[in-house]
Structure 1
């Protein structure tokens, strides 16, 4: 699993037979959050997230459903199963296995593995720990308005004062 991300609510997916992405919506559990310090947005997605589990539930016109006069019927996403999930994590709430960024979904019209995850949905959020470890020269070049050296000293003093 090294260098692979778990998937969370808001992950972007795309069907190879559609022309528009849609965002995953976790509906099968309400307790396990990832990449979300407040525990309010980023529910972890699992292989139990099937059915109509997207925000718009469409990837646009479906190339697997041509219309007689030209064009295509609109896609109506219906996930029947996921493959490529991480079987070493099982949620107690729904018994689901964690989805990974390379997991794929099956749709009855598009067939096996026709839906791919294009963005896992996690977003980096810098914390004080990263700020303390940041290279002073690099951060001053990126943001010359902030004296990172003074910031580091102030943060170290706070840590020292709390330890006493």
Structure 2
């Protein structure tokens, strides 16, 4: 098993039986202890195979090809019954195994492994520790013109909001 990302709250999922491919966001409802890629431990709970039932933000992928109704299709109502392709090496406090970026879910209307993960939900996060552990030469290449010795113990703050 190569290096695969753990799936976290906010990951996007998609069903192969959606009429017009739509995604929905995975919510972690089975624990509030284990975080990944989240230095403050507030947003990115690790998703496990215990995320069963209606565990998506909108609980729909639009219209479902497996539910024809005359000239159209009935709306999808997500209800995950089982996850496959999980990390078997670690068990979390909810007795769950971590979902990986290539994990798949089953739905009673669709089939085994009909729901896939389109984006695992993790993002790069620059912290003070990253800067302190980085080579000054590499930092100078990546961010020329920034004198990191002037920052003393402060983390590099990047403000990417627009003034209104």
Whole-angstrom CA distance in 2 between matches of 1:55 and 1:62: 17
User: 2:75 matched to which residue of 1?
Assistant: 74
Aligned-residue CA RMSD in angstroms? 1.7
Structure 1: 5+ residue runs without aligned partners? 156-164
Distance 1:52 1:42, change over 3 A: same
User: 2:160 matched to which residue of 1?
Assistant: none
- Bigger drift between 128-137 and 30-39 goes to 128-137
Length, aligned pairs only? 148
User: 2:61 matched to which residue of 1?
Assistant: 59
Superposed CA offset, 1:82-104 (max 9, x none) = 00001111012x11111101000
User: 1:34 matched to which residue of 2?
Assistant: 36
Aligned: 1:13 with 2:49: no
Q: Report the CA distance between 1:149 and its aligned residue.
A: 6.5
Q: Report the CA distance between 1:38 and its aligned residue.
A: 1.6
Q: Report the CA distance between 1:128 and its aligned residue.
A: 2.6
1:103 aligns to what SS in structure 2?
Answer: strand
- Higher helix content, 1 or 2: 1
Structure 2: 5+ residue runs without aligned partners? 154-164
- TM-score normalised by L of structure 1: 0.82
- TM-score normalised by L of structure 2: 0.82
